[in-house]
Amino acid sequence: MSRTLIIAMLLGWSIFAFAAEVPDAADAHEHVAMAESASEEPHADMDDGERMSAEDFIASLQFQDGTINLPGDIASIRLSEDFRYLNPEDAERVLVAWGNPPGNDSAGMLVPRHADLFSPEGWAVIISYEEDGYVSDEDADSIDYTEMLHNMQAETDEENKQRIEAGYESIQLIGWAAPPHYDSSEKKLYWARELKFGNEEENILNYNIRVLGRKGVLVLNAVAGMSQLATVETGMQEVLAITDFNPGNRYAEFDPDVDEVAAYGIGALVAGKLAANAGLFAKLGVLLLALKKYLVLIVIAAGAVAVRLFKRKSS
């Protein structure tokens, strides 16, 4: 399969895209043909339109060490020896070099120090910030994540009927690769899902971190193969520990007199990605080709859409 994943259409879908008609089989096969016709060789376009090798491209990136203040000074990451940071501009260059369309909105990227960005084993953490308001954690202790998983699986199984009829591959939520865990003292949430796309031999790992703040949620996502679970989990647990909101943006500083409250809670942060937005994934099936890292943007885009959809429904 091709290393390139065409996701321009995915990033442009509206909040209510899940309600639209699933594309027909002809459209699905057209997208497959487009993806499979792309070059297998990693490359990057220079400003003058010429191409550089993957090695030269990586050498041109401005990796940062130390303590990183994210855009807007909302949060900081105290980098260890295991990770380096790319600012939003360089993160954009990487995402475009991976085959994604330009115009990606992120707060940067964390890259394992010894990872090869263009290797199938390479992985990175895409950072973003969702300023939807203060997310109450009152429901955290009452959530039954086993029941939630079963509901999510049932809904995605139902959606698969439409995917297959339209000529798309099925998407199966196999289970938790790491069950959801919320640290009420640190206001940090993490979980990981195991996903299977069509007949792909290796299942996909989607590892999620959410850090709750005064006015929104810091989102950190990683996508890799399930064979990398141990490596990614170790890395993401480290990321969890070194990421915090800066003074003025912390959860404990919430002021009910001036700050907005999000119309969703902890449960929606986890379930919303597949449950509230299953129809969006109905359109992804055949496009999920080759390198798993391309799925990061899909996960981020789907997550943002799902949470906003949940908010709109609640209001």
pLDDT given for residue 52 in this prediction: 81
Does residue 253 belong to any structural domain of this protein? yes
Q: Two tokens at 258?
A: 């001036």
Report the alpha-carbon distance of residue 92 to residue 105 in Å, rounded.
Answer: 8
pLDDT given for residue 97 in this prediction: 83
290-301 pLDDT, tens digit each:
333 444 444 444
pLDDT given for residue 44 in this prediction: 55
Report the alpha-carbon distance of residue 56 to residue 125 in Å, rounded.
Answer: 22
Does residue 22 belong to any structural domain of this protein? yes
214 within 8 A of 249, measured Cβ to Cβ = yes
Does residue 248 belong to any structural domain of this protein? yes
Domain extent for 108: 8-314
Q: Quick count: other Cβ atoms within 10 Å of Cβ 8? A: 11
Does residue 1 belong to any structural domain of this protein? no
pLDDT given for residue 200 in this prediction: 86
Does residue 86 belong to any structural domain of this protein? yes
Q: Quick count: other Cβ atoms within 10 Å of Cβ 159? A: 20
Nearest to 35, CA basis, from 227, 242, 286, 225:
286
Report the alpha-carbon distance of residue 140 to residue 40 in Å, rounded.
Answer: 45
* Average pLDDT of every residue of the chain: 77
Fill in the amino acid letter for 75.
A
pLDDT given for residue 166 in this prediction: 84
Nearest to 126, CA basis, from 169, 165, 173, 92:
92
Report the alpha-carbon distance of residue 138 to residue 1 in Å, rounded.
Answer: 45
pLDDT given for residue 51 in this prediction: 73
Q: Is 234 exposed, middle or buried (0-12, 13-18, 19+ CB in 10 A)?
A: exposed
Global pTM value: 0.77
Count of structural domains within the chain: 1
Query: What are residue 92's DSSP bridge partners?
Result: none
pLDDT given for residue 167 in this prediction: 85
Report the alpha-carbon distance of residue 61 to residue 94 in Å, rounded.
Answer: 9
Q: Quick count: other Cβ atoms within 10 Å of Cβ 45? A: 13
Backbone φ/ψ region at 183: left (φ over 0), alpha (ψ -120 to 50), beta: beta
Does residue 2 belong to any structural domain of this protein? no
pLDDT given for residue 233 in this prediction: 97
215 within 8 A of 207, measured Cβ to Cβ = no
pLDDT given for residue 199 in this prediction: 87
Fill in the amino acid letter for 273.
K
pLDDT along the chain (315 residues), means of 10: 28 27 44 42 51 87 97 97 96 84 88 88 91 96 96 90 85 95 98 91 92 97 92 97 98 97 94 42 31 43 46 45
Beta-sheet pairing, 109-112 with 243-245: unpaired
**Residue 87 in 3-state DSSP?**
coil
Q: SS3 breakdown of the chain: % helix, strand, coil, rounded to 5?
A: 40, 25, 40
